[in-house]
């Protein structure tokens, strides 16, 4: 395995020009996404609190029926809207714009149009959340916004991301990086699944088919949007930080094409034994199992790339967040494959197990990888370093314990519910009340996540307003005393 040759002065000047062209759009998406992440965290905590204390606020006089806005049936969909469309989509767009510009060595064009489209996207997400809280949602997970809103989201998404395609076509190198394949795939796949599911639902399909297409959309949004962008980040950052070439490009290409071929077949395994043809859930389960193989290939490939420099994870924020995200991606793929088998899936498909899987995807592997990318990108587009390595360490610590608590409680609650559902003499009310204790743990998990997100948001706000450290003092690292950072003794 060979090391990467150092960049020339011309290369550095070109990178500075590219970073300058992407600065304002990328910063806009990162700051908007982090603000929505805080909103989603609060809504996630309140919805879990409502489940753990169902009678909370019921004794307070409410002549205007304001309390109806804060019922679980409205807060939970609003939480998902803020988490997926406010945080995940915008953070992913910011990362893919910068990554494709760097990989193709092309400056980002039309930044004003991209930012205007981003403002429209934020306004649409806000209207969607308000509509859901007011009771005008569609009651379809991850698609709860009113039907008239999805064309706005679709058009603005195209206006924000279409510029990735010409950048890819104008790339300097004749070879195609694996990260470019994943980014290009994410840009193209999202409109396909988004238009497909909304057109089918708006066409007035049967409610059963609407539920099936909704499950197909969730699975495909995870594997056709979140996973590709996360993998593009990992394939770019890991070799970059350890200063080595990727261990095996053929293995990376095999994993990409496996994901590209199999992801579209997944989703219907969530409704095995239901009113769908048996082959649909069977194919979906088989696809989930083979996708696990593609993810394992990827993780092994990345591990072999940095295995002799694993000590860098102690100091590099980007490497630690990214590899932790990859570990969570492996866990997600494993649990999805296990949950898609008929022997277990039939017990878990209508429980908190699926909620835990979705949370593991959005706030687990995707968000952790995005944090790693943001910690790497922002200093390069602002010309300043993060103010505090200790706060980055706190972000990782609280985020790790928070997501661990969330996933453990939701998965265990799902297993407990699945066992009780199989007992014919246990009322459904008992099935749901049995998970109250686990919901208390979910509340604690969101509190921990919230503390970590506050550390992240505070530092990002300082960087946005130009309050970062001067870059001449070296990069901001974790597990290093602040006075050592100030003296510039920590560069690695």
Distances (CA, A) of 409 to 54, 370, 403, 442: 18, 24, 10, 6
pLDDT at 345: 80
pLDDT at 230: 97
Domain 23-59+68-486, CATH number (from 1.20.210.10, 1.20.1090.10, 3.40.605.10, 1.20.1630.10): 1.20.210.10
State the average pLDDT over residues 77-100. 96
The Cα 229–Cα 373 span in angstroms is: 10
| Count of CA atoms in the C-beta half-sphere (13 A) of 67 | 11
Query: Which has the closest alpha carbon to 285: 273, 296, 270, 298?
Result: 270
pLDDT > 90 in the chain, percent: 60
The Cα 218–Cα 173 span in angstroms is: 35
Residue 117 pLDDT class (50, 70, 90 cuts): very high
pLDDT at 486: 46
Residue 492 pLDDT class (50, 70, 90 cuts): very low
What are the extents of the domains in the chain? Answer: 23-59+68-486
The Cα 18–Cα 105 span in angstroms is: 7
State the average pLDDT over residues 125-146. 91
- Is the confidence at residue 61, as pLDDT, over 70? no
Query: Which has the closest alpha carbon to 47: 27, 71, 69?
Result: 71
- Is the confidence at residue 462, as pLDDT, over 60? yes
State the average pLDDT over residues 219-242. 95
The Cα 427–Cα 407 span in angstroms is: 26
State the average pLDDT over residues 45-59. 79
- Is the confidence at residue 68, as pLDDT, over 70? no
- Is the confidence at residue 2, as pLDDT, over 80? no
- Is the confidence at residue 38, as pLDDT, over 50? yes
- Is the confidence at residue 284, as pLDDT, over 90? no
The Cα 436–Cα 434 span in angstroms is: 6
pLDDT at 34: 96
Q: Report pLDDT digits (tens) over 155-189.
A: 999 999 999 999 998 888 778 899 999 999 999 99
- Is the confidence at residue 491, as pLDDT, over 50? no
pLDDT at 130: 94
Q: Report pLDDT digits (tens) over 195-229.
A: 999 988 877 666 677 778 888 999 999 999 999 99
| 288 or 308, higher pLDDT | 288
pTM value? 0.93
- Is the confidence at residue 489, as pLDDT, over 50? no
Residues 6+ apart with CB under 8 A from 14: 105
- Is the confidence at residue 58, as pLDDT, over 80? no
Least reliable range by pLDDT among 251-265, 339-353, 364-378: 339-353
pLDDT at 205: 61
Residue 350 pLDDT class (50, 70, 90 cuts): confident
Distances (CA, A) of 372 to 146, 213, 365, 376, 396: 33, 32, 11, 6, 10
The gap from C-alpha 34 to its chain's centroid, in whole angstroms, comes to: 12
- Is the confidence at residue 323, as pLDDT, over 80? yes
State the average pLDDT over residues 48-72. 69
The 3-class secondary structure across the chain, one letter per residue, is CCECCCCCHHHHHHHHHHHHHHHHHHHHHHHHHHHHHHHHHHHHHHHHHHHHCCCCCCCCCCCCCHHHHHCHHHHHHHHHHHHHHHHHHHHHHHHHHHHHHHHHCCCCCCHHHHHHHHHHHHHHHHHHHHHHHCCCCCCCCCCCCCHHHHHHHHHHHHHHHCCHHHHHHCCCCCCCCHHHHHHHHHHHHHHHHHHHHHHHHHCCCCHHHHHHHHHHHHHHHHHHHHHHHHHHHHHHHHHHHHCECCCCHHHHHHHHHHHHHHHHHCCHHHHCCCCCCHHHHHHHHHHHHHHHHHHHHHHHHHHHHHHHHHHHHHCCHHHHHHHHHHHHHHHHHHHHHHHCCHHHHHHHCCCHHHHHHHHHHHHHHHHHHHHHHHHHHHHHHHCEECCCHHHHHHHHHHHHHHHHHHHHHHHHHHHHHHHHHCCCCCCHHHHHHCCHHHHHHHHHHHHHHHHHHHHHHHHHHHHHCCCCEEHHHCCCCCCCCHHHHHCCCCCC
pLDDT at 3: 64
Query: Which has the closest alpha carbon to 4: 301, 306, 309, 243?
Result: 243
The Cα 35–Cα 457 span in angstroms is: 7
Q: Report pLDDT digits (tens) over 379-426.
A: 999 989 999 999 999 999 999 999 999 999 999 998 888 888 777 777
The answer to whether 186 touches 229, Cβ cutoff 8 Å, is yes
């Amino acid at each position: 395995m060979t090391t990467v040759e150092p960049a020339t002065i011309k290369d550095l000047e070109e990178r500075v020009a590219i970073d300058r062209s992407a600065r304002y759009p990328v910063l806009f998406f990162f700051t908007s996404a982090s603000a929505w992440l805080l909103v989603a965290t609060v809504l996630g905590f309140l919805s879990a609190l409502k489940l753990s204390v169902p009678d909370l606020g019921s004794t307070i006089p409410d002549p205007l029926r304001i309390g109806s806005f804060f019922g679980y049936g409205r807060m939970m969909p609003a939480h998902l809207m803020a988490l997926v469309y406010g945080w995940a989509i915008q953070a992913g767009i910011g990362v893919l714009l910068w990554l494709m510009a760097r990989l193709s060595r092309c400056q980002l064009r039309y930044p004003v149009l991209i930012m205007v489209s981003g403002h429209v996207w934020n306004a649409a997400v806000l209207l969607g959340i308000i509509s859901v809280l007011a009771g005008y949602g569609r009651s379809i997970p991850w698609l709860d916004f009113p039907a008239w809103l999805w064309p706005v989201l679709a058009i603005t998404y195209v206006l924000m991301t279409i510029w990735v395609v010409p950048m890819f076509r104008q790339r300097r190198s004749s070879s195609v990086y694996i990260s470019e394949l994943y980014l290009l795939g994410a840009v193209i796949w999202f409109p396909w699944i988004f238009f497909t599911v909304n057109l089918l639902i708006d066409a007035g399909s049967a409610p059963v088919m609407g539920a099936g297409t909704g499950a197909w959309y969730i699975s495909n949004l995870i594997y056709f949007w979140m996973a590709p962008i996360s993998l593009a980040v990992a394939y770019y950052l890991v070799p970059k930080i350890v200063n080595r070439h990727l261990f095996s490009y053929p293995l990376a290409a095999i994993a990409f094409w496996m994901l590209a071929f199999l992801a579209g077949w997944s989703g219907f395994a969530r409704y095995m034994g239901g009113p769908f043809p048996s082959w649909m859930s069977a194919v979906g389960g088989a696809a989930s199992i083979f996708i696990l193989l593609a993810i394992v290939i990827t993780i092994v490939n990345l591990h072999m790339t940095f295995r002799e420099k694993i000590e860098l994870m102690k100091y590099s924020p980007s490497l630690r967040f990214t590899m932790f995200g990859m570990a969570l991606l492996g866990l997600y793929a494993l649990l999805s494959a296990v949950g898609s088998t008929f022997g277990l899936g039939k017990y878990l498909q209508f429980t908190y197990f699926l909620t835990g899987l979705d949370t593991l995807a959005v706030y687990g592997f995707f968000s952790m990888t995005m944090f790693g990318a943001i910690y790497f990108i922002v200093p390069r587009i602002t010309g300043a370093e993060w103010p505090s390595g200790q706060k980055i360490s706190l972000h990782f610590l609280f985020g790790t314990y928070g997501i661990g608590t969330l996933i453990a409680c939701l998965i265990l609650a799902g297993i407990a519910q699945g066992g009780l559902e199989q007992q014919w003499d246990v009322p459904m009310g008992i099935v749901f009340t049995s998970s109250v204790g686990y919901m208390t743990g979910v509340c604690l998990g969101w509190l921990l996540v919230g503390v970590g997100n506050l550390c992240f948001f505070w530092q990002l706000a300082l960087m946005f307003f130009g309050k970062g450290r001067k870059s001449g003092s070296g990069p901001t690292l974790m597990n290093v005393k602040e006075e050592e950072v100030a003296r510039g003794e920590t560069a690695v």
